[in-house]
Amino acid sequence: MEKIVDIIEAMAHEKNISLDSAVDAFKEALVKTAKRCTSYTSDFKATVDMDVKDYHVEQIITVVKESDERVKNEPDAVITISKAQEEYGNDIELGDELRSDFILEEHGRTASHNLFKELQYHIQRQVEQDLFEKYREKVGMVMFGTVNRIDDKENTFIEIGELKGILSQRNRIKGEKFRIGDTVKALLRYVSIDPEFGMFLELTRTSPKFLDKLMEKEVPEIADESVEIVATARIPGQRAKIALKTDFANIDPIGATVGVKGVRINAVSNELDGENIDCIDYSPIPEVFITRSLSPAIIQSLKITDKKNKKVLVNITSDQKAKAIGRSGINIRLASMLTGYTIELNEIEGITDRRGDGSSNGSPSEPEKTTNTDALADLFK
């Protein structure tokens, strides 16, 4: 028993937990062991002094009224005022605590054995709690890991630090396959404890937040908040739209995000199995934002029909309707997800001018050319 405090330090080092956490586990183990040796209704308090490497356990009995329910339910933790005054003197008052030393060594080897069992249990619980808190702080961050198993339900098990991560089929991009030994990058959704898997990390590669985090790592302007991602919409593995804004006049949010020759956006797209990513300049004006979100389609006009329920009617010519809808409706779905508006298309007559200057009933007119060079004459004087 005299070396038990030294053992606490060794266990803290071995289990890679703080000494304070190990001491708290030891206190809990002392209290549980004391209750095992007496009764579970008894009340104990344990103190540990790491400076002198000693510990102390006290049994506490509280003075209560005769009518207190605890007299019947917790007879070892309380004493009535009349009985306390009879045994200890009339100076005893309600609420006083009668403390007595509890010497664990006097209870023999059984107490020693129980203490070590309780200590191991509470140390392990503390290890799990520390791990839980450590990874809970990382929720919403991108994690790296190595695939070590794939089960018959297509759940991909990824080794990440001290815990295992699970990337389920619904959290993978459609058609994505991993093999044992592959390095995987995914977003940590949450930390969970399951009877089958124990403590594990649920990962996802389909969340819009995952795209945001990848862009943040690839684009310095987003990382330092010079450029802000206002909204993101994704259909994983197919296409995504990102609304960007900046408060700095000298920064082009779309240009900064795309990068020279598309190097930045392509790096993110490659990580997402070739997902096409459209960058849109955000506007606080809903009409402008909706118009931009429907790109590459050019609309004629729009009207917000229901502000409360966010519904909008968009007038569009027949040649632009297919672009607005997109293959399998993907463009209009993303525009709706990005803006938060339910978009209804209304087809009108005419053909949209490819220059975006309006509509006409004929073919788009060619810009008028001139051969007059008088305006250049002054340059050669």
Q: What is the CATH number of the domain that holds 181?
A: 2.40.50.140
Please write the tens of the pLDDT for every residue from 168-204: 989 999 888 899 999 999 999 999 887 777 788 999 9
| 216 & 181 share domain | no
CB count within 10 Å of CB 90 equals 8
Q: How many whole angstroms from its chain centre is CA 369? A: 58
> Cα Rg for the chain, rounded, in angstroms?
35
Question: Is the per-residue pLDDT at 211 higher than 90?
Answer: yes
| 125 & 8 share domain | yes
- The answer to whether residue 51 sits within a structural domain is yes
Query: Roughly what angle, to the nearest 10 degrees, separates helices 208-218 and 263-271?
Result: 140
| 170 & 225 share domain | no
Please write the tens of the pLDDT for every residue from 47-89: 888 877 788 899 999 999 988 888 888 888 899 989 888 888 8
Question: Is the per-residue pLDDT at 316 higher than 80?
Answer: yes
- The answer to whether residue 371 sits within a structural domain is no
- The answer to whether residue 379 sits within a structural domain is no
The pLDDT, as a whole number, for residue 266 is 95
Q: Give the residue with greater pLDDT, 87 vs 357.
A: 87
Q: Report the C-alpha gap between 229 and 244 in whole angstroms.
A: 5
Token reading at 32 = 């549980």
Question: Is the per-residue pLDDT at 226 higher than 90?
Answer: yes
Q: Report the C-alpha gap between 286 and 168 in whole angstroms.
A: 37
| 13 & 97 share domain | yes
- The answer to whether residue 136 sits within a structural domain is no
- Confidence band, pLDDT 50/70/90 cuts, at residue 372: low
| 11 & 90 share domain | yes
Give the bridge partners for 231, in sequence order. 243
| 175 & 226 share domain | no
Question: Is the per-residue pLDDT at 2 higher than 70?
Answer: no
Choose among 194, 208, 186: nearest CA to 139.
186
The pLDDT, as a whole number, for residue 359 is 41
| 251 & 300 share domain | no
Q: Report the C-alpha gap between 99 and 77 in whole angstroms.
A: 11
CA distances from 295 to 147, 242, 277, 358 (A): 39, 12, 12, 16
- Confidence band, pLDDT 50/70/90 cuts, at residue 120: confident
Please write the tens of the pLDDT for every residue from 28-40: 999 999 988 888 8
Q: What is the CATH number of the domain that holds 268?
A: 3.30.300.20
Task: Report which DSSP code applies to 246.
Answer: E
Tally of domains within the chain: 4
| 276 & 317 share domain | no
| 72 & 11 share domain | yes
- The answer to whether residue 377 sits within a structural domain is no
- The answer to whether residue 373 sits within a structural domain is no
Domain hosting residue 272, numbered range: 207-282
Rounded percentage of the chain residues whose pLDDT exceeds 90: 53
| 236 & 341 share domain | no
Token reading at 306 = 């229901």
Question: Is the per-residue pLDDT at 369 higher than 90?
Answer: no
| 8 & 123 share domain | yes
Q: What is the CATH number of the domain that holds 97?
A: 3.30.1480
Q: Report the C-alpha gap between 26 and 5 in whole angstroms.
A: 9
